[in-house]
Amino acid sequence: MESAIRKGLISGGVVHVGSRDGLLFEKAYGRIAPEPTARPVTTDTIFDLASLTKVVATTTAVMKLAEEGKLSLVDPVRRWFPEMEGKGKDDLLVLNLLTHTSGLDDFSFDPAAPLQSAVTGAANQKLKGDLGSRFHYADINFILLAEVVRRVSGEPLDVYTAKRFYLPLGMKDTGFHPPGEKYDRIAPTFGDGATSMVGLPQDYPCRQLGGVAGHAGLFSTAGDLALFCRMILGDGVLGGTRVLEERTVRQMTAPYFSRGGKVIRGLGWDIASPYSTPRGGFFSRASFGHTGYSGTSLWIDGDAGIYVILLTSRLDYRKKGEFNHFRGDLSTLAAEAFRPVSLGELEEPEGGAL
């Protein structure tokens, strides 16, 4: 972390490592912004999670609705989007959206009607590649899934997730649209040049959609995300409170293969893909997690029973390779320190993680 600060990758951040039983390591580093007068990061600093929203909010909500029988993962997407009738998408399934195998690409929205233009644009877009086998990471998949949650449950994503997950789990600092009284704890996110935002999602399409979207917009702390990770490691239970059935968690984190087996995803979750750098060198091949563009990531290893959370104030977005290397190094060190097996039993590092 200190090296990443010196290199100008981040101004500061929080590392949290835990197990099924609780905290193993937590420390805050640096400041919330690069100015020497900026506030130090603390362990309860609130961060813009960016694409961690996809798993901590949207995937979990979709899986809960499936668990309750209100939708099926093999539902044709047109069941929930009549706008797609007759648009050549009869075989497009909810499952394809969750695994980024829909053949959809991202595109710009109409500022006057962003959500409707997102749905209409997806309906009119020609699918690329073979449905179910072409992996292409695209935010539109999860923008559509958030709208599925609303159409199925009758509640927008922020209301649904707060009621079913964050409040029952005690995640008191997690949600969309953080209230003004928490602004002094929120780390700013940085865009092009000197642009910075506090309490607003860095992601522009998310802001167009009102700050609540399936792909971005969620804010949280390392401590709150730790509760979520422990719930996942507990097969849907935390402290006696069950928010998901065991079979739901198992299904959500089981491997789905694309690109001829070269890419492995869970439902929403990443397992082995071009985005899997937070796995590092020593987490098991069954481990899973996700990253966020703003400088966030979490990775969970059910075999070892541990997880690693990284929340940062990311500065230089051009140094993508260097930032990914940093994520991998951090997870590798965490696994070395806390994975409950000897180093002789661990995987060899991949891709020069060390």
State pLDDT tens for residues 232-251: 999 999 999 999 999 999 99
pLDDT band at 129 (very low <50, low <70, confident <90, very high): confident
Residue 250 falls inside a structural domain? yes
**pLDDT of residue 158 exceeding 60:** yes
Tokens of 304: 């070892």
pLDDT of residue 342: 43
**pLDDT of residue 263 exceeding 70:** yes
Cα 149 from Cα 154, distance rounded (Å): 8
Residue among 290, 56, 293, 292 nearest 175 (CA): 56
Exposed/middle/buried for 165, CB within 10 Å: 0-12, 13-18, 19+? buried
Half-sphere exposure of 238 (CA within 13 A, CB side): 23
Range of the domain at 76: 2-340
The CATH number of whichever domain residue 306 belongs to comes to 3.40.710.10
196 or 61, which is more confident? 61
Residue among 315, 351, 305 nearest 332 (CA): 351
Report how many domains make up the chain. 1
Q: Residue holding tokens 């006057």?
A: 112
The backbone torsions φ and ψ at residue 250, rounded to the nearest 5 degrees and listed phi first, read -60, -45
**pLDDT of residue 351 exceeding 70:** no
Half-sphere exposure of 29 (CA within 13 A, CB side): 20
The backbone torsions φ and ψ at residue 275, rounded to the nearest 5 degrees and listed phi first, read -105, 15
* Chain center to CA of 342: 30
What's the chain's average pLDDT? 93
Residue 122 falls inside a structural domain? yes
Which tens digit of pLDDT belongs to each residue from 274-306? 999 999 888 998 999 999 999 999 999 999 999
Element (H, E) at 270: strand 270-272
Quick one: average pLDDT of 33-45?
96
Residue 346 falls inside a structural domain? no
Quick one: average pLDDT of 173-182?
97
Residue among 97, 79, 67, 57 nearest 267 (CA): 97
pLDDT band at 194 (very low <50, low <70, confident <90, very high): low
pLDDT band at 193 (very low <50, low <70, confident <90, very high): low
Q: From residue 304, how far is each of 96, 106, 276, 279, 298 by CA, in Å?
A: 29, 36, 18, 13, 15
**pLDDT of residue 67 exceeding 50:** yes
Angle of CA points 101, 102, 104, to nearest 5°: 120
Residue 345 falls inside a structural domain? no
Residue 270 falls inside a structural domain? yes
Cα 133 from Cα 152, distance rounded (Å): 27
pLDDT of residue 259: 87
Residue 85 falls inside a structural domain? yes
pLDDT of residue 353: 35
The three-state secondary structure class of 120 is: helix
**Contacting residues for 65 by C-beta, under 8 A, at least 6 apart:** 71, 149, 152, 153
Strand partners, 175: 219
Q: From residue 249, how far is each of 235, 303, 316, 319 by CA, in Å?
A: 6, 14, 35, 34
pLDDT of residue 346: 44
* pTM: predicted TM-score of the whole model, two decimal places: 0.94
Residue 327 falls inside a structural domain? yes
- Torsion sign across C-alpha atoms 151, 156, 158, 164: negative
**Contacting residues for 202 by C-beta, under 8 A, at least 6 apart:** 48, 50, 189, 190, 191, 216, 293, 294
Which tens digit of pLDDT belongs to each residue from 311-346? 999 998 889 999 999 999 999 999 899 877 543 444
Residue 347 falls inside a structural domain? no
